[in-house]
Amino acid sequence: MEAGGIILAGGKSSRFQGNKALAEVASQRLIDRIILILSSVLPRLILVTNSPSDYKGVGADIVTDIIPGKGPLSGIHAGLVASPYSLNFVTACDMPFINAALVEYLVKRACSSVDAVVPVVKGYPEPLAAVYRKTCIPFIEQSLLAERYKVTDFYNRVRVAYVTEQELAPLIEVNTFFNINTREDLKKAFPEEGS
């Protein structure tokens, strides 16, 4: 597909008490699991992190925030600036159940008349499992410089295609958008690990 993948791994993981991207499940780190899924459909991946030395050899280009310390929106910005592709699927390092079919579908939904394609689940947008066009960059920069760090802040200034849960039903499961913030979440996500 003519699109890149951007994985955000810049958070402090304070609730997890350790780097959750490097947590192992079934002999595989979360970050490696996500890279494997995305690389099956996207030709190039970019990992945005503020601790690049933790991710040497992961199979993705590594970049750091251009406007640091501003959360996921800053990571999206850095990834979009670094990407050679106009379209990019963005996800977080703590969403282990994102699947290739969903990624492919959202990228294909990004016709030339939209800047972003965002799933809506249980009435809320999922901005960290969405597709963004590089045309979003100046609007993200405006938000960051205005100290508005909520990922969805710039949505009202770009053309967003919202994709309903009903439309995505054949591609998603109950845990597709589950994200791991704590060690309890990790146990919930992978109960068979028993750790």
Domain harbouring 132, CATH code: 3.90.550.10
In a domain, 189, yes or no: no
pLDDT for 24 equals: 79
Question: 184 in a domain, yes or no?
Answer: no
Torsion of CA 24, 28, 30, 35, to 10 degrees: 160
- Identify whether 185 is part of a domain: no
What is the pLDDT at residue 101? Answer: 97
Which DSSP helix (H) or strand (E) runs through 121? strand 116-121
Span 57-70, pLDDT tens digits: 999 999 999 999 89
Average pLDDT, the chain: 91
> For residue 179, what are its two tokens?
């994200």
Taking 50 as the pLDDT cut, the residues of the chain under it are 195
- Look at residue 51 and tell me if it is in a domain: yes
Domain containing residue 100: 4-179
pLDDT of residue 16: 66
pLDDT at position 31: 92
The answer to whether residue 191 sits within a structural domain is no
Copy the structure tokens of residue 154: 């710039």
Full-model pTM: 0.92
Half-sphere CA count of 40, side-chain side, radius 13 A:
12
Tokens describing residue 181: 């913030």
Structural domains of the chain, count: 1
Asked, for residue 187, whether it belongs to a domain, the answer is no
For every residue of 137-170, DSSP letters joined together read HHHHHHHHHTT---GGGGGGGS-EEEE-HHHHGG
- Count other Cβ atoms within 10 Å, centred on residue 36: 12
Residue 195 lies in a domain: no
pLDDT at 195: 45
193 domain residue, yes or no = no
